[in-house]
Amino acid sequence: MFSERTPRDFAENALSRRIAELRGTGARILDLTESNPTRAGFLAPPELLNLLADTRGARYAPDSRGLRSAREAVSRDYAARGLSVDPEHIVLTASSSESYSLLFKLLANPGDDVLVPTPSYPLFGYLADLDSVRVRTYPLRFDHEWHLSVDALASSIGERTRAVVVVHPNNPTGSFLKRPEAAALAAACAKRGIAIISDEVFADFDLFGDAGRRQPSFALDSPALSFSLGGLSKSCALPQLKVGWIAVSGPVDLRQEALIRLEFIADTYLSVATPVQLALPGILEAKPGLQAPIRARLLRNLAALKASASAHPELSIVPPEGGWSALVQCPATRTDEERSLIALESGVLVHPGHFFDFESGCYLVVSLLCETEVFDEALPGLMNAAVR
C-alpha cells in the first residue's frame, strides 16, 4: 500500500529507546546534541520579526525563482563575503532540504545516484529516497586534518552518478575544502559531466580555518555545473522562517539550462512565503549582529571542551575549522554507541560517530551550540563516558 520511498522499518535504535525510557521516568537529560538555535537561547529580536508584518505580504504575486528584491539581498550577502553572484543565478527555496529535493529532481532520474561524503550528516539518504535517487559514498580522510581525495572519489563514481555532494564546512567534522581540492573536484566533475552540489549553510562560521587556503564558495565560476546552498536556518539562526537558496554557477550554457529547468520545478511548488521574502533584505542586513553571540558561544564551549579533555591524555579533540560541532576521539576499547549509552546513564546525551557514518575509530559528536550552563554541567559525564 505504501511507497518504497519511505523506510520499511521505523524501529528505534538502542540509544533512542533508552532516551525515551529515561524521559518517561522524568529524568533530566543534558542535551549535547542540540542544533536548534531557538532551543539554545538564540531568539530573534522582536524588531527583526516585525519585518514579517509588511503589508505588501497580503498580496500574492509569486516569482518562481523568488522575488527579485529577495534575490538581490542574497546577492549582496555574497558580496559582503567578497563573492560576486548575479541575482539572476539565484533560486529561493523553503529550506536546504527542499533545495536538495529540487536538485535531485533536476539532475537525476529514478535509480540514478549521487555521491555524498562520509562522515557527514545522515539526512542525505532519506532525502534521496524520497526522490527515488540512490546514494553512493566517498570517503573523507583524516591526516592531521580532514581532506578530500579526488582519486578516492573518482573510484566511487558509477555509470549512473549524476552529482557529487560536498558539505563546506562538513557536518560534523567542521572541515572546509581547500582550494586545490575544490579545483581538482571541479575538473573531475566537468570531465565526466557530473554536477557539484555544495552545502554551504555553515560557511559563515569559520572558526579557525585559514581563509586563504579554503575554497570561498562553489558559487564562483567553475568548469563544472555547480549549485551552492545557503539559508537563514544556520546563517542567521532562524530555522523557523524557512528560507534557503541555490546559487547556480558553471559553464554558461549549462547554467542557463539548469536555471530554466529549476524555475520550472520551483514554479510547480511556489513554496517560499511572500512575507519572509519581503523581510529577507532586512534580515540579512542584521546577520552580523545575529552571528556574533553564536560565534562567541561556539568558541567558548570549544575552549571548555578542550580544557576538560586536557586532563585525559587518551582523548583527542579534533579541532573544527568551522560549523557548530566538535569531535571527541575516544579509545576504541568500546564502541561509540556503548560510550553514548554510558553518557546517557550519567544524564548526558551525545551522538555516537556511527550516526554520521564514520568508517573507523571511536568518535563522539558534540554540539557547541548548547547553552554554557548545560555544556559545563554535562562535561564531567561526557568525559567519564569517553574514557571509561
Give average pLDDT by consecutive 10-residue segment, the chain, 388 residues: 85 90 93 97 93 94 96 98 97 97 98 97 92 96 90 94 97 96 96 97 90 92 96 97 98 98 97 97 97 97 98 94 97 96 96 93 97 98 96
Boundaries of every domain in the chain: 14-43+288-387, 54-286
The pLDDT of residue 211 is: 79
CATH 3.90.1150.10 is held by the domain 14-43+288-387: yes
Helix, strand, coil percent values for the chain (each to nearest 5): 45, 20, 35
Give the integer Cα–Cα distance in Å for 111 and 145.
34
pLDDT tens digits along 257-286:
999 999 999 999 999 999 999 999 999 999
DSSP 176: P
Q: What angle, 0 to 180 degrees and rounded to 10, lies between the N-to-C axes of helices 274-285 and 68-80?
A: 20
Phi, psi of 310 (to 5 degrees): -65, -20
The pLDDT of residue 105 is: 98
How is residue 17 written as a grid cell?
529507546
In three-state form (DSSP H/G/I as H, E/B as E, the rest C), the secondary structure along 185-218 is HHHHHHHHCCEEEEECCCCCCECCCCCCCECCCC
Give the integer Cα–Cα distance in Å for 202 and 229.
10
**How many CB atoms within 10 Å of residue 146?**
21
The pLDDT of residue 350 is: 97
What contacts 75, CB < 8 A, 6 or more positions away? 85, 86, 87, 90
pTM: 0.96
Give me the residues paired with residue 137 across strands.
116
In three-state form (DSSP H/G/I as H, E/B as E, the rest C), the secondary structure along 216-282 is CCCCCCCCCCEEEEEEHHHHCCCHHHCCEEEEEECCHHHHHHHHHHHHHHHHHHCCCCHHHHHHHHH
The pLDDT of residue 4 is: 86
Give the integer Cα–Cα distance in Å for 187 and 235.
29
Distances (CA, A) of 224 to 108, 142, 247, 264: 16, 26, 13, 22
How is residue 363 written as a grid cell?
568518535
Give the integer Cα–Cα distance in Å for 339 and 348.
11
The fold for domain 54-286 equals Aspartate Aminotransferase; domain 2 (3.40.640)
DSSP 24: H
Give the integer Cα–Cα distance in Å for 152 and 254.
26
